[in-house]
Structure 1
Amino acid sequence: MDIDTPLTLLGGLSPAAFMRRYWQRKPLLVRQAIPGFRAPISRQTLFELAARDEVESRLVAQDPKAGWRLQRGPFARRALPPLTRPNWTLLVQGVDLHHPASHALLQQFAFVPAARLDDLMISLATDGGGVGPHYDSYDVFLLQAHGRRRWRIGRQKDLTLVEGLPLKILKHFEVEHEWVLEPGDMLYLPPEWAHDGIAEGECQTYSIGFRVPARADLARDLLQRVADEAGELPERLYRDAGQPATATPGAIPEALQRFAAEAVAAALKDPHALDRALGESLTEPKPNVWFESGRAPRRLGAVVLDARTRMMYDARHIFVNGESWRAAGRDATLMRRLADARRLDAPAVRAASEDAQSLLALWCEAGWVHPEGATP
């Protein structure tokens, strides 16, 4: 992708200009970001996804008497309210993992690092449906796919929530801007911008979400991964043959403190241990993701990544679905191209070394990669 070319998707801004002026800074409304856009997934297909065990789905309804209600799927179609009933919303998470056209839509946003991409969520709502005024801790592009939705947004300083509800709804929502979005219109919101979307008639909204790692959570995960890898270090027992008798048994010996510090230093002796742990963490599939085993052809041609595969790289490693490999030279260049474009043409595959081709074949057998044109 040429990051300096103006895009209709971004209202005539180039990706470079959008990231510089708006990303994590302020909202952007784009009328007809995708002119003539039509939802690539039918209502019926969305209902079928919501009925599957491995797909995360939620039903939010607001009743004048009962108030807000939240249910978690899977949902058989008969378990959902009729479309003629107002004020309910079906939320289906991770649609891009199960629907090729929806997955292809995300590639239009490839100017943002894949390490930040979360998923595509689809919200189907009947008239008046919504999830209440709230804020998210991630960046999101709200693309109107069908019907109309009224959005109200504001920079929220008071993040107090209404108590006793199954949803995180702001108690004092302060509206600064209000728009009605129609199919093809799109609204970008940075983290913690309060927003409330209400359907005007039946509508579908696509939420392209970009996760924002929390420092404490990330630290815990990386330290656990480094600790797991440290289990492969040679075992060494603490020895204190020179420990004198003590009149203060509750005091931790300084020698033991040094031993503990040396143990941690040994685990981090590899200067790239944290980089490796980060790449493995960022590419770890979500808990409800699984792959179907495949078969590698005798002679590999063009290949594509499975929609569920997360592939990234740094200066020394290639990361795929929570695993890592050292890579250098021409093979590293080819693997990085696969991570960026999510496909390699046949000449590129043939140019790979025997080891790289064997690795691609292994990934085919794991279901992470498919020969282009093959049905996953």
Structure 2
Amino acid sequence: MDMLGGLSGQEFLSQYWQKTPYLVRQAFPDGLYKISGDELAGLATEPDVESRLVTANDWTLRHGPFFEEDFTRLPEKDWTLLVQAVDHWVPDIAALFDAFDFIPAWRMDDIMISYAVPGGGVGPHFDHYDVFLIQVDGEREWRIGQSCTDADDRRDDTDLSILAHFDEQERWVLKPGDMLYVPPGIAHWGSALSKDCITYSIGFRAPSQAETLVEFAQFAADSCTDFDRYQDADLKARTDSHLITDADIDRIQQMLQTLTEDRDAMARWFGRYMTQPKYGDAPLEEPTLSNADIARQLQRQPLIRNSAVRLAYQPGILFVDGEAIDSGLPADGLRWICEQKQISASDLGNQDDVARLKVLTTLVGHDAFYFDNE
């Protein structure tokens, strides 16, 4: 793949993914859809959009939403604006995910965009997830540092998670079209070298063990009844009633293990969990439509995929924004729906068309697809 410097997706995953940084010069030689600094600032004024403003001279962090005057007061250097999940709000930005389709779609998190002036950046830090950093406009210098853990000290004079120690290993200047991959735990430090420095950051979901345990425990608890309790029909008479024995621990451990042994339940939970929306939704308020309504409307205009809605599937089950839908479609039908950016009446012409139409009706109700009524 040209985007990966001539490597195939599998070669990149085997050699670099979660192992070592990888720089690709001119990964996108033809450029990408570019959002302007003014457009990005406009998004940062919206209450549903997560945004941050960082000044590099004193490492001050401010959270949005912002006002127009906040930007007019900024100096000519040493600041950066970061807007999270721009792919939720700008479909042309979301299209960039297609270039990374060799990675599971449910692992994709969001596309953050930063706009910086000379000296702008967020300081030396590391992430807990994989990230591709794509230079879209201007130039940015990236310094790569040491491998880190949560034990590495952070500075205590800022709200930013800035490393107290940075051991530089490599340094690159990225120009428009260049891309840098940084694995989890690798320290990196980006600094804008030019005005109108725009960088796209593609991040990936990597839930922590603690988050996963809490989410699964809640899912499992919801399926339990008052009759699902600790049992000890094989209890032996005790000479020491205060002692917790190995047999007691074995029983409670087995009780907990049974919750994870149901693979179908585990799969249903995982699909729901990994498609839960992380950021604010972009509701389209599509009126309630029936199968017949959808079929008639498709004769006049196509359905368009809402890029803010997360989809994934397992055979028989479609997951949409944290909900599981028993679709009745085979795996290839579910895959087809998940891959479509636009669906026309002519796309529904095989033996699965009735079942697909029912699923599409459900997805329109979830705002996953919509008719452009403008």
Q: By the TM > 0.5 criterion, same fold? A: yes
> 1:362, CA displacement in angstroms?
2.5
- More displaced 10-residue stretch of structure 1: 31-40 or 118-127: 31-40
In structure 2, relative to structure 1, the CA distance for the partners of 1:124 and 1:42 (3 Å cut) is same
CA distance in 1: counterparts of 2:185 and 2:250, whole angstroms: 43
CA distance in 2: counterparts of 1:244 and 1:30, whole angstroms: 66
> 1:115, CA displacement in angstroms?
1.8
> 1:349, CA displacement in angstroms?
3.1
Measured against aligned partners, the alpha-carbon deviations of 1:247-290 in whole angstroms (never above 9, x if no partner) come to: 97767899998997787577567441111111100001125224
User: Which residue, out of 51, 70, 76, partners 2:67?
Assistant: 76
In structure 2, relative to structure 1, the CA distance for the partners of 1:316 and 1:128 (3 Å cut) is same
CA distance in 2: counterparts of 1:160 and 1:238, whole angstroms: 43
| TM-score, normalised relative to structure 1 | 0.85
Measured against aligned partners, the alpha-carbon deviations of 1:35-93 in whole angstroms (never above 9, x if no partner) come to: 14255212111111000011000010133xxx221110001121125565210111100
CA distance in 2: counterparts of 1:10 and 1:135, whole angstroms: 23
Partner in structure 2 of residue 281 of structure 1 = 273
In structure 2, relative to structure 1, the CA distance for the partners of 1:125 and 1:254 (3 Å cut) is closer
Partner in structure 1 of residue 212 of structure 2 = 218
In structure 2, relative to structure 1, the CA distance for the partners of 1:144 and 1:333 (3 Å cut) is same
CA distance in 2: counterparts of 1:256 and 1:176, whole angstroms: 52
In structure 2, relative to structure 1, the CA distance for the partners of 1:254 and 1:192 (3 Å cut) is closer
CA distance in 1: counterparts of 2:321 and 2:97, whole angstroms: 18
> 1:319, CA displacement in angstroms?
0.9
Q: Does the 8 Å CA contact 2:140/2:191 hold for their aligned counterparts?
A: yes
CA distance in 1: counterparts of 2:87 and 2:259, whole angstroms: 38
CA distance in 2: counterparts of 1:253 and 1:348, whole angstroms: 64
Q: What is the SS of the residue equivalent to 1:367?
A: coil
Measured against aligned partners, the alpha-carbon deviations of 1:210-249 in whole angstroms (never above 9, x if no partner) come to: 122222221221121121233xx585788999x9999977
Q: What is the SS of the residue equivalent to 1:201?
A: coil
CA distance in 1: counterparts of 2:21 and 2:253, whole angstroms: 46
CA distance in 2: counterparts of 1:257 and 1:172, whole angstroms: 44
User: Which residue, out of 169, 180, 186, partners 2:162?
Assistant: 169
Amino acid at match of 1:160: D
Amino acid at match of 1:161: R
Amino acid at match of 1:100: P
> 1:304, CA displacement in angstroms?
3.7
Partner in structure 1 of residue 348 of structure 2 = 349
Q: What is the SS of the residue equivalent to 2:213?
A: helix
In structure 2, relative to structure 1, the CA distance for the partners of 1:68 and 1:265 (3 Å cut) is closer
RMSD of equivalent CA atoms: 3.1
Q: Does the 8 Å CA contact 1:61/1:89 hold for their aligned counterparts?
A: yes
User: Which residue, out of 12, 27, 34, partners 1:40?
Assistant: 34
Please say if 1:108 is aligned against 2:102.
no
Amino acid at match of 2:162: I
Partner in structure 2 of residue 3 of structure 1 = none
- More displaced 10-residue stretch of structure 1: 284-293 or 305-314: 284-293
1:273-312 alignment, distance < 5 Å: 273-295=265-287, 296=289, 297-299=293-295, 301=298, 302-312=302-312
CA distance in 2: counterparts of 1:221 and 1:156, whole angstroms: 29
Q: What is the SS of the residue equivalent to 1:281?
A: helix
Please say if 1:178 is aligned against 2:171.
yes
User: Which residue, out of 75, 90, 109, partners 2:81?
Assistant: 90
Q: What is the SS of the residue equivalent to 2:128?
A: coil
In the alignment of these two chains, the number of paired residues is 362
> 1:130, CA displacement in angstroms?
0.7
CA distance in 2: counterparts of 1:353 and 1:200, whole angstroms: 54
In structure 2, relative to structure 1, the CA distance for the partners of 1:223 and 1:238 (3 Å cut) is closer
Partner in structure 2 of residue 4 of structure 1 = none
In structure 2, relative to structure 1, the CA distance for the partners of 1:113 and 1:238 (3 Å cut) is closer
Q: Moved runs in structure 1, 4+ residues, more than 4 A?
A: 81-84, 233-241, 243-270, 341-345
Amino acid at match of 1:114: A
1:237-316 alignment, distance < 5 Å: 270-295=262-287, 296=289, 297-299=293-295, 301=298, 302-316=302-316
CA distance in 2: counterparts of 1:244 and 1:176, whole angstroms: 62
Measured against aligned partners, the alpha-carbon deviations of 1:338-364 in whole angstroms (never above 9, x if no partner) come to: 223445453443433534422311321
> 1:108, CA displacement in angstroms?
1.2
Please say if 1:229 is aligned against 2:228.
no
Q: Does the 8 Å CA contact 1:11/1:31 hold for their aligned counterparts?
A: yes
Structure 2 stretches of 5 or more lacking a match? none
User: Which residue, out of 45, 48, 55, partners 1:54?
Assistant: 48
Structure 1 stretches of 5 or more lacking a match? 1-6
Identity of aligned residues (%): 36
In structure 2, relative to structure 1, the CA distance for the partners of 1:271 and 1:240 (3 Å cut) is closer
Q: Does the 8 Å CA contact 2:272/2:324 hold for their aligned counterparts?
A: yes
> 1:122, CA displacement in angstroms?
0.6
> 1:199, CA displacement in angstroms?
0.7
CA distance in 1: counterparts of 2:258 and 2:181, whole angstroms: 45
1:153-168 alignment, distance < 5 Å: 153-157=144-148, 159-168=152-161
CA distance in 1: counterparts of 2:109 and 2:294, whole angstroms: 35
Measured against aligned partners, the alpha-carbon deviations of 1:281-336 in whole angstroms (never above 9, x if no partner) come to: 000112522422214444164544311111111244221111113345x5432122
Please say if 1:333 is aligned against 2:326.
no
Measured against aligned partners, the alpha-carbon deviations of 1:114-162 in whole angstroms (never above 9, x if no partner) come to: 1211100011111111111111111111111111111111233582212
1:8-19 alignment, distance < 5 Å: 8-19=2-13
CA distance in 1: counterparts of 2:232 and 2:280, whole angstroms: 48
